[in-house]
Structure 1
Amino acid sequence: MSQALQAAREALAGEDAWLVGGAVRDKLLGRDTDDIDLAIPGDPKPYARKLARAVRGAAFELSGAFGAWRVVAPEHAWHVDLVTLRDDDIHQDLAHRDFTINAMAEPLAGGEVLDPHGGRDDLSKRLVRMVSAQALVDDPLRSLRAIRIAVELDLTLDAATGEAASANARGIEHVAHERVFAELKRIISAAAVLRGLQLLDEHGLTDVVLPELTRLKGIEQSQFHHLDVHDHTLEVLDEVTKLQRHPEYADLLGEPLADELTRGDAMRWAALLHDAAKPQTRDVLPGGRVTFLGHDREGAQLAKDVLGRLRSSSKLREYVAALIAHHLDAGFLVHRRPLDRRTLWRYLQATRPYSADTTIFTVADRLATRGKNAEQAIEAHLEVARELIAAAKEPIAPPLLRGDELVREAGIAPGPQLGTILAQLEEDRFAGAISTRQDALTRAKELT
């Protein structure tokens, strides 16, 4: 039994409440969940406050219009959403839910599962089936949710539900962007993300939620690529998912970043959008060479715009944009081998604070580029990437001299020049040109 369910049963013992939605489904699948939904006859507010007091958590209203409250456990270990039972009738409530596998209920205290729409049978058949034809009309976001559930649980949309998802896809344009992002980010974070993107395509949803991806289809590239921009993008995404499991990178990419995404899951967004500016930057030079000059910088801004439209956090936007803006840099360094310490330092400065992430991302991009001379190019890139990641992992030592010390001891006035000199001293130390405080002072005087 999950912690959330156990806490709710203990705190609300004797109360009239139903466990509903995905929690019942997951229980039947033998999956523990940290988030459960309860349907309450009447006002859920006193129930929410009672549960919050019992676990020393927090209770707050999610939506006054629908009478929804959330209780969050200490340290965000789990949460429980409490909603008003429609018409104080569990059967009416279940009849208005999205899919049959989510339209089951169980008394909070335990007991027989109420299953008026055949959800248990659909679960055994591995099907996502809408409760009624009206379900996706009432809330077009359910078209996207159907795909998310299918991808996360390895289910199949039944024919009628698939047709309804396609028919109501355009309705998502009128849904709050935050709700769209909540579903889309789970699809993109799923183990079967490529299947999820295929389903989005099949049901006309990509054009609505990520039109930037559709525009990449048919954009041919140079001889060094074996795929068009769209299919290359999907291969980069696939390589990122593999690198998330790579023992060398798994710890870093498993760290939380923003919007309930790990660094690796956030990197998947960079994969999806890293070449999004190629359609508008494509050019064919005399002789037939294809170029995309500036697609890295334009793509970084486009990624910010896309994630801004979806109402993501600023941190996710900055992370994705940083990886895209610098996704070509490591490739350029391949032609400057062997790399000296100053070259490494300048790369680190350009890509901080995501130097290691950026480098790992370039590996995914390189592995997905298998045109002319691919094997030699990949090996050379991996050699450079190992150097860059090792440099990124080096501990940052405190400066040999602070700015106020330079003002006092070297007579350098506060201002832009001071900052430039401090930066140069750090580069010099990293390069091994200076190593002591006196070295730094002497060098600073030379730079004035």
Structure 2
Amino acid sequence: MLKLKYKLEYTIIMVGEIVNKIINDIKNIIRDIGGDAYIVGGYIRDKLLQKNKEFKDLDIVYDGDIHFFIRALESKGYKIFPIKEDIKIYRAVIEDKILDIALLNGNNIEEDLQSRDFTINAIALKLISNNIIDPFRGREHIRTKIIHEVKEDSIQKDRIRILRGCRFAIKYGMHFSKLCEEHIRRENKYIKFSPKERIFNELIEILKVDDNGIAFEELDKYGVLKELLPYIDELKTVGKCKYHIEDAFTHMNLVYRNSKELLRGELKVEGLDLDIFKVNLGEVSIGVYFSLAAFCHDIGKVKCYRNNDGKISFIGHDKEGAKIIEEALEVLGFPKKAQKFIKALVEAHMYPLGLCKNNVKNYKRSFYKFFSRYDEYIPYILAISYCDMHATKMLYDPDNEEQMFNEYIENLLKEYKLYKNVKDNRFINGKEIIEVTGLKGKNIGKVLEELDKKAYYEEIITKEDALKYLKSISHKS
């Protein structure tokens, strides 16, 4: 085994009091009990790419008796959690910092690094001596922005590394070496056979780091996307019609990019509270799922394509798309709540435009039906509908329809707030309905719903109005 040790060419800055404590604690432990400790993985990579980036976790490789090492950390106030105790992997936590600690894999650190995915992740910093160990030219690849496998079979051994590599390419603006790209194209058809929880986790990580809205284009570039979502190649062949000058796949990418701009506040919709996208649905922020829904919104167009004497249509693509994406997300291991959220946005993304075009006189009734059907999803549906329209009209908008639709969306947001106020501040409760009308069971819910409608329609303004209505129906019953 070739052993190459390099003096640190870059300054690996340990920023902050807690970081210095961790490093000093580890050094002191090594002096006391012996062995060697190395910082490896993401911390080294990120410091070489972005020196001042604050870290959340450290990967530590220990060469020695790891039980002594773990007990020594525990004595210094670290909370210890066995992760895979059978193969000597532990987690140590102090304040908000996480240390993932593993026993050296192999006879030396070079052999340990050889088991890693890409050369940019196969760099180690030896504590005490402050030497950097870089046997696979990882620093050179960082400088030249190349993602290259440590070994030729790295991807073949674990196809999830394809998604990890794509994440690094998207996050850092890197590109694959020619050989690595060949291996990705050869192996990507096997990704679907990986554990679905790993596929889900990596896909979510990609969406999290994709600030520029290029994730799906990048995944498609290497033939990966069609292994994750259905109809990708077909979507490139349909979509152009009276309303679109671009194919469906291009349009979906534009809407996805718009969703990222909206989340950053660059696309503005008055009355839309961006904080709602920061709320977690399970362990993932809704904003991540929102952007995925933005891309997938037109996935049903392939199955709904119709050409009647040159007149192109995609009637029902919203409903069909909802079915398709629900099945796809199940295969990818998405949680049920996330599936439900994304499905609702895909299903309803055309609803606001339909309301706008119909321009009905009794708009309050149409709005109430929309609001009651999708309720807490409404702000997200309105946001995705605007991203959709903006993507269409940014390419072709001779009649300035986007401005009109933007105002319509903003008005719908105002109306939804009125609707929510009615629901949250009812004039009458169930007990009062029973007292006045004598009704029981499901009938109480029906009366409450009718009262809500009338309050939203402004047919009931006060509690007295509500009581008057109850008395009128009590006589009928």
Say which is worse superposed, 7-16 or 200-209, in terms of deviation: 7-16
Deviations 1:57-86 (A, max 9, x none): 56242x456543334566xx4433222321
- Determine if the alignment matches structure 1 residue 196 to structure 2 residue 215: yes
Q: Is the 8 A contact 1:224 1:374 kept in 2?
A: no
Secondary structure of the 2:238 match is: coil
Instruction: State which of 273, 291, 315 in structure 1 corresponds to 2:313.
Output: 291
**Aligned equivalent of 1:219:** 238
* CA shift in 2, pair 1:6/1:292, >3 Å: farther
| Alignment-mate amino acid for residue 458 of structure 2 | G
Measure how far apart 1:269 and its partner are: 0.9
* CA shift in 2, pair 1:444/1:327, >3 Å: farther
Instruction: State which of 362, 366, 379 in structure 1 corresponds to 2:385.
Output: 362
- Determine if the alignment matches structure 1 residue 433 to structure 2 residue 459: yes
* CA shift in 2, pair 1:170/1:5, >3 Å: farther
Q: Unpaired segments of 5 or more residues in structure 1?
A: none
**Aligned equivalent of 2:410:** 386
**Aligned equivalent of 1:14:** 29
**Aligned equivalent of 1:98:** 117
Q: Using structure 2 for the length normalisation, give the TM-score.
A: 0.84
Q: Is the 8 A contact 1:407 1:414 kept in 2?
A: no
* 1:394-413 equivalences in 2 (<5 Å): 394=418, 396=421, 397-413=424-440
**Aligned equivalent of 2:337:** 315
Q: Using structure 1 for the length normalisation, give the TM-score.
A: 0.89
Secondary structure of the 1:87 match is: coil
Q: Distance in 2 between matches of 1:49 and 1:427?
A: 65
**Aligned equivalent of 1:68:** 89
Measure how far apart 1:25 and its partner are: 0.9
Secondary structure of the 1:433 match is: coil
Q: Is the 8 A contact 2:306 2:312 kept in 1?
A: yes
Instruction: State which of 257, 264, 276 in structure 2 corresponds to 1:238.
Output: 257
Instruction: Give the CA RMSD over aligned residues.
Output: 2.8
Instruction: State which of 295, 309, 319 in structure 2 corresponds to 1:272.
Output: 295
Say which is worse superposed, 44-53 or 269-278, in terms of deviation: 44-53
Measure how far apart 1:192 and its partner are: 5.3
Q: Distance in 1 between matches of 2:97 and 2:337?
A: 24
Say which is worse superposed, 139-148 or 3-12, in terms of deviation: 3-12
Structure 1 runs (4+) deviating above 6 angstroms are none
Deviations 1:5-51 (A, max 9, x none): 55643554424422111111112221222122112336757756765
Q: Is the 8 A contact 2:230 2:328 kept in 1?
A: no
Q: Distance in 2 between matches of 1:442 and 1:51?
A: 72
**Rg comparison, structure with higher value:** 2
Measure how far apart 1:422 and its partner are: 0.5
Measure how far apart 1:237 and its partner are: 0.8
**Aligned equivalent of 2:48:** 28
Measure how far apart 1:387 and its partner are: 0.8
Q: Unpaired segments of 5 or more residues in structure 2?
A: 1-13, 31-35
Secondary structure of the 1:83 match is: strand
Q: Distance in 2 between matches of 1:412 and 1:162?
A: 70
Secondary structure of the 1:69 match is: strand
* CA shift in 2, pair 1:233/1:66, >3 Å: farther
- Determine if the alignment matches structure 1 residue 121 to structure 2 residue 151: no
Instruction: State which of 243, 252, 274 in structure 1 corresponds to 2:275.
Output: 252
Q: Is the 8 A contact 2:364 2:457 kept in 1?
A: yes
Secondary structure of the 1:162 match is: helix
